């Protein structure tokens, strides 16, 4: 529900959905009118702030079809006619719908490479952008933890490789060799 709705409810004194506020009003001696006006104003400002960060158009770039091809408005997608037809065909397939729920997003699109090559390639290209950004951000974070003012002469290559590896060390084997 929208914050404006909650704001109007509070302004009218209907606070059944806020049990803690209801307890405060019942047990404390506060000016209810002023309190409700402050809460209502806060909710309105919060709504304005949300609108700033999350615009009303849910999919301004037309790529929501990648996240959920089964609940997408075909007309809002930035696809050519052939890709739109493929998306319509894909969205009608109930077996793919259950597959979509059970698989990670990247694996889902990779698995459709033979059936829907145009859509699959387009989705994978857009999904790869986030993977590479994530890995570089992770590396910068690790580097900033390793190289500090106190440890500015430390050789970071081996330490960064150790911090970024996905391999789990066999500690019992390492300890037994000592």
Is 128 inside a domain boundary?
A: yes
What is the rounded average pLDDT for all residues in the chain? Answer: 81
Per DSSP, helices labelled H in 54-166 are 64-67, 81-91, 94-102, 105-111, 117-146, 156-164
Model pLDDT for residues 96-115, shown as the tens digit of each residue: 988 988 888 889 999 999 99
Instruction: For residue range 41-75, list pLDDT tens digits in order.
Output: 887 888 777 776 666 666 666 778 888 888 877 77
71 and 128, same domain (yes or no): yes
Among 53, 73, 91, the domain boundary falls at: 53
> pTM of the prediction?
0.46
Whether 85 and 22 share a structural domain: no
Do 46 and 87 fall into the same domain? Answer: no
Residue 175 makes CB contacts below 8 A (sequence gap 6+) with none
Q: 111-129: per-residue pLDDT in tens? A: 999 999 999 999 888 887 6
What pLDDT, on a 0 to 100 scale, did the predictor assign at position 1? 45
Contact yes or no for 87/72 (Cβ under 8 A): yes
For residue 175, tell me if it sits in a domain.
no
Which residues constitute the domain of residue 146? 64-164
DSSP run (H or E) holding 4: helix 3-11
Answer whether residue 59 is part of any domain: no
Q: Locate tokens 């493929």: which residue? A: 86
Quick check: 164 pLDDT over 90?
A: no
Q: Does residue 124 fall inside a structural domain? A: yes
In tens, the pLDDT along 9-23 reads 777 777 777 778 777
């Amino acid at each position: 529900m929208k914050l404006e709705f909650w704001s109007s409810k509070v302004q009218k004194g209907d606070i059944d959905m806020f049990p803690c506020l209801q307890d405060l009003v019942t047990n404390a001696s506060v000016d209810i009118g002023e309190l409700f006006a402050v809460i209502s104003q806060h909710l309105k400002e919060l709504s304005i702030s949300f609108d700033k960060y999350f615009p009303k158009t849910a999919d301004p770039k037309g790529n929501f079809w990648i996240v959920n091809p089964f609940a997408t408005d075909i007309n809002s997608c930035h696809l050519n006619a052939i890709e739109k037809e493929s998306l319509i065909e894909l969205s009608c397939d109930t077996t793919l719908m259950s597959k979509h729920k059970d698989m990670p997003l990247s694996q889902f699109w990779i698995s459709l490479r033979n059936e829907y090559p145009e859509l699959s390639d387009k989705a994978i290209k857009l999904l790869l952008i986030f993977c590479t950004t994530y890995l570089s951000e992770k590396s910068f974070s690790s580097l900033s933890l390793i190289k500090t003012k106190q440890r500015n002469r430390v050789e970071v290559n081996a330490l960064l490789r150790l911090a970024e590896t996905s391999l789990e060390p066999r500690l019992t084997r390492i300890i037994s060799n000592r």
